[in-house]
Amino acid sequence: MKTVLVASSKGGVGKTTIATHLAANAALSGQNTVLIDADPQGSSMRWAGRRSPMESAVLALDGSRRQKSTWNTVPGDADRVVIDGAAGAMADGLAAWLDVADAVVVPVLPSTLDIDATVPFLNSLVEHPRVRSGALPVGLVANRLRPWTNASRRAVEAIGEWPYPVVAELRDSQAYVVLVGLGRSLFDYQSRKAREHQDDWKPLLRWLPR
C-alpha cells in the first residue's frame, strides 16, 4: 500500500481536485483505492459519493476529526491511499498523516500572494523528522497555469528555486471544476483535449511511489 498526502495551508489552491484525480487515476488502473477526506468541507467525500456507482469507485473515509482512528479503518487490501489534507493546516496539524505518507504533494498557484503564503507551510513541513531526514519526499505542483502568460512562467521559475522539486505543471481549465462536481476526472475520458491535459499529469504520476 502506498499513501499520498495532498496538502497546503493555503485554501483554494486545487488540493481536492488533485487528490480526487490521483484517486481516480489509481482506481482506473485497477488499484483498490481509498480517499481519506481530512478537510471539514467534505468535498472529496461528496466526489466519491457521486462516483460510487462507477466500476472504478473509490472508498471514501472521513478523516476530518480523528486522524489515527481513521487510519486504522483503512482496509488491509488497499493498494493506494490518497489523503486530502485539511485546508489551513500546517505540519503540526497533519502529523499523523505525515507519519504514514509515502509522499507529500503541495499545490501552488501562480501568483505572488499564493507563492508567499506557501513558504511558511513548507517551512513547517521541514520540521517533521521524516521530511527533514529525506525519508518523506515532498513534490510541488504548479497548478492552474496559463503557460502563455509571463506571470505563469515567472511563477514556475520562482517555485523551481525552492528546495523541493516541481513534479507537475497543470494548466488551468474549467473542466476540473465540472468533473469534480460529477464525481469524475480527466482520466475517465479519452478525447483529444482530455489526453492533452492528462499529459500534464504524467510527471507527477511517475514521481509518486509505486
Residue 53 lies in a domain: yes
Q: What is the pLDDT of residue 161?
A: 86
pLDDT at 113: 86
Report, as an integer, the average pLDDT of 74-87: 95
Q: Which of 134, 41, 90, 191 shows the shortest CA–CA distance to 20?
A: 41
Residue 50 lies in a domain: yes
The pLDDT-based confidence of 156 (bands split at 50, 70, 90) is confident
Question: Residue 67 pLDDT > 90, yes or no?
Answer: no
pLDDT at residue 66 in the model: 84
Q: In the structure, what pLDDT confidence band is assigned to residue 144 with cuts at 50, 70 and 90?
A: very high
Residue range 71-79: average pLDDT? 94
- pLDDT-based confidence at residue 203 (cuts at 50, 70, 90): very high
The DSSP result for the chain, as a single string, is: -EEEEE--SSTTSSHHHHHHHHHHHHHHTT--EEEEE-STT-HHHHHHHHHTTSTT--EEEE-SS-HHHHHTTS-TT-SEEEEEPPTT--GGGGHHHHHH-SEEEEEE-SSHHHHHHHHHHHHHHTTSHHHHHTSS-EEEEEEEE-TTSHHHHHHHHHHTTSSS-EEEEEEP-THHHHHHHHT--GGG--SHHHHHHHHHHHHHHHHS--
Q: Does residue 149 fall inside a structural domain?
A: yes
Residue 172 placed within a domain: yes
Assigned domain for 209 exists: no
Q: Looking at mean pLDDT, say which of 57-61, 148-152, 156-160 comes out highest.
A: 57-61
Domain count, the chain: 1
Which of 38-42, 158-162, 180-184, 194-198 shows the lowest mean pLDDT across its residues? Answer: 158-162
The pLDDT of 131-136, averaged and rounded, is: 95
Of 100, 58, 91, 34, which is closest to residue 187 (Cα–Cα)? 58
Question: Is residue 118 in some structural domain?
Answer: yes
What are residue 169's DSSP bridge partners? 142
> What's the one-letter identity of residue 20?
T
Q: Is residue 182 part of a domain?
A: yes
pLDDT given for residue 165 in this prediction? 95
CATH number of the domain encompassing residue 187: 3.40.50.300
The Cα–Cα gap between 203 and 201 comes to 6
By CB atoms closer than 10 A (0-12, 13-18, 19+), residue 150 is: exposed
Give the number of C-alpha atoms closer than 13 A to the C-alpha of residue 58, restricted to the C-beta side: 34
* Inside any domain, residue 38: yes
pLDDT of residue 42: 93
Structural domain boundaries enclosing 76? 2-204
Share of the chain above pLDDT 70, in %: 100
Cα–Cα distance measured from residue 89 to residue 9, given in angstroms and rounded to the nearest whole number: 5
Question: Global pTM?
Answer: 0.95
> Is it the case that residue 114 has pLDDT exceeding 90?
no
